[in-house]
Amino acid sequence: MVEDATSLNNLLTQFAELPGIKVLVHGGGRSATKIAASLGIESKMVGGRRITDAQMLQVVTMVYAGLVNKNIVAGLQARGVNALGLTGADMDVLRSHKRPLKKMVMDDGTEQMVDFGFVGDVDKANGEMLCKLIAEGVVPVMTPLTHDGAGNLLNTNADTIASKVACSLAPYFDVTLTYCFEKKGVLRNADDDESVIPVITEQDFADYRDSGIISGGMLPKLENAFEAIHLGVQKVVITRSDSINGEGGTIIKQF
Amino acid sequence: MVEDATSLNNLLTQFAELPGIKVLVHGGGRSATKIAASLGIESKMVGGRRITDAQMLQVVTMVYAGLVNKNIVAGLQARGVNALGLTGADMDVLRSHKRPLKKMVMDDGTEQMVDFGFVGDVDKANGEMLCKLIAEGVVPVMTPLTHDGAGNLLNTNADTIASKVACSLAPYFDVTLTYCFEKKGVLRNADDDESVIPVITEQDFADYRDSGIISGGMLPKLENAFEAIHLGVQKVVITRSDSINGEGGTIIKQF
């Protein structure tokens, strides 16, 4: 979403028009892959997830916290939004620890212990500090990097950051967490872009998962969504990035 | 100073130990030149100043706001300093305009109108917003990028940013502005690293300039220093980056 200038401009305009208190969390993986390639660094992925070695950590730090984050901040300032770009290290808003080796099922079906490198699993989001900024009219723009408190930046999944930040703000506000992606919502039929499931309860999710209607990359997204609901977020919306202002998408809430 | 890991670590440790309220402003030109070269982008300089075309703006945005700034922030957090990295676009702390074409004397003595590209001349530093952060115990870490309020980031001289930020804080605090560079201070004799001039008044500066004792890149640094003094900064110190905590260096103040 953030890689194409027109889409990004549309998203920023829509985001600027959103009423109320708001926080933006962005990614940038495609830009990182492109810049890494220009620097002669190969992007290694396992099961759709990036392996972040020392060189790749430098690249994602440049691309996420620099190129992507600061262009979003400047773009929002131009739209009258008092944006502030943040990694988790800034004001210690997101503390994490380096992910230990993880057992993964490879494409060939074998299991393997995978070292994801400089990747962070979030321990704590500092909702109190974010609230102080919000009280000053500041709109936090979060980049998918956290830190371990020992001087190391760690590459961290943007969906996870969005969920952790939403939960950290739940004691202070009625929070809606909106995940933007390239589809109109969670689809009943992957081949039919119009087959959006309007509402998913936890029981629905169990049924859809067991029957294979929902699978692949949507599973962790929905698990994140229900975790956020359990931790106090009012509503999660999964929608297309050109529709953050409108109706539609898939709604997940506590019933 | 920020390009070598050992020097940077020493500087961060010293900075963390500095008592009182503080703000850090960093550069990163050498890293930018190196990364640009790895990307096959040539660094163009005129009179020691970088020409920032669109590609180079992307590089400095990645290197200054990403790689350098966020590693400093994480390094300070590890030392107990609640650092927050900022470009001028973040919370609109530094607004600038794109530098118009400027008449420059070339190496061959001829004059030429030079387009520095996406380079910003600072209009306003938002001392009030910085004060609010400082009141929360936050230590701003400023990167040499500003914005024009129309969505454009602009590459901006770090010495100028330091001076503008110092002046913007002068109504609220007794401000000392410390410039770190590779020498122990302003030298009476460029070939003798020990010939530091301990104090320079405005009259001294006029005399040193007229007699050629002070020349070259030190002239704008000192002009910036006296401008800051006129705008309310108590004291300017020019010293080596390993001595920000100690005595020594050259002191510029209003007498």
Give the residue from B241, B242, B240, B239 showing the smallest Cα distance to B251: B239
Res. B1: pLDDT tops 60:
no
What pLDDT digit, counting tens, does each position of A157-200 carry?
A: 999 999 999 999 999 999 999 999 888 999 999 899 999 999 99
Q: What's residue B3's pLDDT?
A: 64
Could you give the CA distance from residue A97 to residue A22 in angstroms, rounded to a whole number? 27
- For residue B125, the Cα-to-chain-centroid distance in whole angstroms is 14
**Distance in Å, alpha carbon of B43 to nearest chain A alpha carbon:** 16
**Helices B158-169 and B218-230 meet at what angle, rounded to 10?**
10
pLDDT band at B20 (very low <50, low <70, confident <90, very high): very high
Q: What band does B2 get if pLDDT is binned at 50, 70 and 90? A: low
- The band of A231, judged by pLDDT with boundaries at 50, 70 and 90, is very high
Per-residue pLDDT reduced to its tens digit, B64-75: 999 999 999 999
pLDDT greater than 70 at residue A239 = yes
Q: How many CB atoms lie within 10 A of CB A150?
A: 11
Query: Considering chain A, what percentage of its residues have pLDDT values greater than 70?
Result: 98
- Give Cα B244 to chain centroid, integer Å: 15
Burial of B157 from C-beta contacts in 10 A (0-12 / 13-18 / 19+): buried
Lowest mean pLDDT among A109-113, B4-8, B26-30, B177-181: B4-8
Do the chains contact at B78 and A150, CB–CB below 8 Å? yes
Number of Cα atoms under 13 Å in the Cβ half of residue B105:
1
What does the alpha-carbon distance between residue A203 and residue B127 come to, in Å, rounded to a whole number? 53
Q: Which helix (H) or strand (E) holds A174?
A: none
Cα angle: B51, vertex B55, B60; to 5 degrees: 70
Contacts of B64 in chain A (CB under 8 A): 66
Residue B199, pLDDT above cutoff 90? yes
Q: Answer whether A66 sits within 8 Å of B71, measured CB to CB.
A: no
* CATH class, A1-173 region: alpha beta
The residue written with tokens 């913007």 in the block is B168
The neighbour count for residue A211, using CB atoms within 10 Å, is: 9
Q: Domains of chain A: which residue ranges?
A: 1-173, 175-255
Alpha-carbon distances of B107 from A157, B112, B213, rounded to whole Å: 50, 11, 21
Mean pLDDT throughout A63-68?
A: 98
Residues 6 or more apart whose CB falls under 8 angstroms from that of B253 comprise B199, B229, B234, B235, B236
Cα(A180)–Cα(A26) distance, rounded to whole angstroms?
10
Taking only residues 80 to 99 of chain B, the set having a beta carbon closer than 8 angstroms to any beta carbon of chain A reads 82-87, 89-92
* Calpha distance A121→A155 (Å, rounded): 9
Q: Compute the nearest-CA separation of B184 from chain A (Å).
A: 29
Q: What single-letter amino acid sits at A40?
A: G
Say whether residue A28 is in contact with chain B using an 8 A CB cutoff. Answer: no
How confident is the model over B72-97, as pLDDT tens digits? 999 999 999 999 999 999 999 999 99
Residue in this structure with the two tokens 């109706």, named with its chain if needed? A247
Question: Could you tell me the pLDDT band of residue A2, with boundaries at 50, 70 and 90?
Answer: low
How far does CA B134 lie from the centroid of its chain?
Answer: 20
Is residue A107 scored above 90 in pLDDT? no
**Using the beta-carbon criterion (under 8 Å), do B74 and A40 form an inter-chain contact?**
no
* pLDDT at A3 exceeding the cut of 70: no
Interface size between A and B, measured as CB pairs under 8 A:
121
Q: Give Rg (Cα) of chain A.
A: 18
Residue B173 distance to chain A (closest CA, Å)? 21
Q: What is the mean pLDDT of residues A129-140?
A: 96
Alpha-carbon distance of B165 to B28, in angstroms, equals 18
Tell me how close the Cα of A113 comes to any Cα of chain B, in angstroms.
Answer: 29
Residue A7 corresponds to which tokens in the numbers above? 């889409």
Q: Quick one: three-class SS letters along B38-91?
A: HCCCCCEEECCEEEECHHHHHHHHHHHHHHHHHHHHHHHHHCCCCEEEECCCHH
Cβ B180 vs Cβ B241: under 8 Å:
yes
